[in-house]
Amino acid sequence: MAKQKKTKVRKVKPQVLKGFRDYSPEEQIAREAMIGKLRKAVELMGFLPLQTPSLEFAETLLGPHYNEDSLAELFGFRGPDDVDMALRYEFTVSLARYVAGSPNLPLPFRRYQYGNVWRVDKPGPGRFREFMQFDIDIVGTVNLLADAEIIAAMVSVFEHLGVRRFIVRYSNRKILNGLIQYVGIPDEQGPDVMRIIDKLEKQGRENVLLELGEGRVDKSGDKIPGLHLTAKHIAEIEKFLEVASLSPDKQLLEAENMLGHIEAAQTGLDEIKQIQEILSSMKVDMAKTALDLTIVRGLGYYTGPVFETTLLDLPDYGSVFSGGRYDNLVERFLGRSIPGVGASIGIDRLLAALLNLGALQTIPATSQVLVTTMDRDRLPDYLGLLYELREAGIPCEIYSGDTKNLTKQIKYGDKAGIHFAVIAGSNEFESGTVTVKNLEAGRQKALQTTDREEWLKAEEIQETIPREKLVEYIKTSINT
């Protein structure tokens, strides 16, 4: 009989697309724990969960006049039914589409949403093409109470996360619009001026003034072109930057003295005062907020108050929770505007910051207990232990590998980061006892001693107890 020719299996390289990444169980457990705290904070303030599709019509994301070039700026493609579609790059457009398509939706609508978004950006350190955001928004009102509620939610979020040293800075885009008018800069050049002012915190005043003028050379030797404003224009902007460097109470007074005769600026300053009064009445810790007149954020996007959050112990992380008022929401869909205000968190940047601060701990396993199975004939007894632990609300698993070797099972539990191992054989079951090995205590003890005999004798490593005391013993040990 002829031998069959063995087909060679082509191996696939286990690689991830550029700009994408895996999240290990340890990282994902930490992310889920953080998201749980974020949800608790915003649900306490009445925000409702919303989930929208990852894919949207191309014209939903880009407008009706999109083309192949603009579609290529997203993860866009021709899909089923010969329809152009793309992965969402943020949540706000989908929120606008949802509001426009829900005529019976009670307004104001308070919603939160979290999930992945996708952007065709050049990947770099800490910069990915797929990442997670967490957004909060209040849609359908121009009442500044909504803006104050967003700031209050931002403060509440960090308090729920256990972060003490942070500051939510806020301003109003109308003030900067008034500054452009005051200085006498053409409207079309205003966005460029604001873009440079927005660099103040990172680049410093001297570099900002140079970019407003003839330009400068950065640390790498690259030439940064300037706007070539007149010396008079630059001097007026520098005067404003001086005002913005004052204490918060003096900022308002001096800004009003300088720009109060400009309607847009005065409106912005009045709105700041109203928000401050509301925050104070809401008993928000005002030490966690600060006026900063140089905040710009989203040049063509925000129309009023803007805000961003900085972690005082990690300033290099930049803003970790930012947003503002946008009063042109839904216009693309209804032909009229529905105002909104909101803020967004970059989940992965915030997670890295919290781990750095020690405000969040990584947990390698969801199981607290491993039930070992060294005597397969007693499987029903092991399953009985498993049932009792789970019924008591203790996350646990039974060893389901192929080996009967107890040492290898314990090594599995130790490597997996499980806290306790329950050990029992026929003798233990017949005598009504079980042994609980504290794997976490063993890991800590191993860091403190290189003497194996001393490690084995440590009382905190394992203990034999009556079987009926197992659940109580584990619960007590977890809580201590």
Mean pLDDT of the chain, nearest integer = 91
Q: What are the tokens at 453?
A: 């005999």
Domain encompassing residue 170? 166-306
Do residues 259 and 182 touch, judged by C-beta distance below 8 A?
yes
**Which class for 73: exposed (0-12), middle (13-18), buried (19 or more C-beta within 10 A)?**
middle
Model confidence at 452: pLDDT above 60: no
Task: Give the pLDDT confidence score for residue 93 in this predicted structure.
Answer: 92
Within-domain flag for 185: yes
| Confidence grade of residue 202 (pLDDT, cut at 50, 70, 90) | confident
Share of the chain above pLDDT 90, in %: 74
Pick from 287, 297, 245, 244: nearest CA to 269: 244
Whether pTM > 0.85 for this model: the answer is yes
Here the tokens at position 362 are: 């990584």
* Of 326, 327, 333, 303, nearest in space to 99 by CA: 333
Q: pLDDT band at residue 479, thresholds of 50, 70 and 90?
A: confident
Do 208 and 261 share a domain, yes or no?
yes
What's the rounded Cα separation, in Å, for the pair 62 and 145?
31
Helix (H, G, I), strand (E, B) or coil at 113: strand
56-70, 261-275, 318-332, 351-365, range with greatest mean pLDDT: 261-275
Q: Are residues 136 and 233 in the same domain?
A: no
Residue 227 lies in a domain: yes
Shared domain check, 405 and 343: no
CB 226 within 8 A of CB 205: no
- Say yes or no: 179 and 215 in one domain: yes
Question: Mean pLDDT, to the nearest integer, of 90-112?
Answer: 95
pLDDT of residue 460: 55
Task: Write the single-letter amino acid at 409.
Answer: Q
Asked, for residue 10, whether it belongs to a domain, the answer is no
Give the residue-averaged pLDDT of 174-203: 90
Q: How many domains does the chain have?
A: 3
Residue tagged 């006892």 (tokens) = 433
Whether 317 is covered by a domain: the verdict is yes
Give the pLDDT band (50/70/90) at residue 26.
very high
Asked if 298 and 172 sit in the same domain, the reply is yes
**Closest by CA position to 291, among listed 248, 255, 241:** 248
Averaged pLDDT, 207-232: 89
pLDDT band at 121 (very low <50, low <70, confident <90, very high): confident
Rounded (to 5) percent helix, strand, coil in the chain:
45, 20, 35
- Split at pLDDT 50, 70, 90, the class of 299 is low
- Whether residues 296 and 319 fall in one domain: no
Residue 27 lies in a domain: yes
Q: Looking at the domain assignment, is residue 57 inside a domain?
A: no
pLDDT for position 465 = 95
77: in domain: no
